[in-house]
Amino acid sequence: QVQLVESGGGLVQAGGSLRLSCAASGRVFSSYTTGWFRQAPGKEREFVAAISRGGGTTSYADFVKGRFAISRDDAKKTVYLQMNNLKPEDTAVYYCAATVKFITGRPYEYDSWGQGTQVTVSS
């Protein structure tokens, strides 16, 4: 497993942008698919985006397509989530996760998780 630490969350107005970072330590990070999930109060954790090892394949939830972009820098052992045109419904705790499986949006297939970072979008 790898250890993951998210950062970059905060309070932003609707239409604004944030960039989340997920810094990894431990085993060879480049071997892991990495995903972002989010959980709003009273709701289940949901898939946001994922990027394969090597970065050649990405996947996005429909509700973020065209607004969010996931990327990775294996030299820095960091994955990013650039979030543009944020909406109040994007308010949630955002989690970074890693898996040795190929790209997937299923939370139970990820075995390493960060502690989460809060994103709040005001209207």
Q: Which residues pair with 24 in a beta bridge?
A: 4
Asked if the model's pLDDT at residue 1 lies above 90, the reply is no
pLDDT of residue 29: 86
pLDDT of residue 63: 94
Condensed to tens digits (0 to 9), the pLDDT of residues 28-60 reads 888 999 999 999 999 999 999 999 998 899 999
Pair 99, 109: CB distance under 8 Å: yes
Cβ contacts of residue 64 below 8 Å, gap of 6+? 48, 49, 83
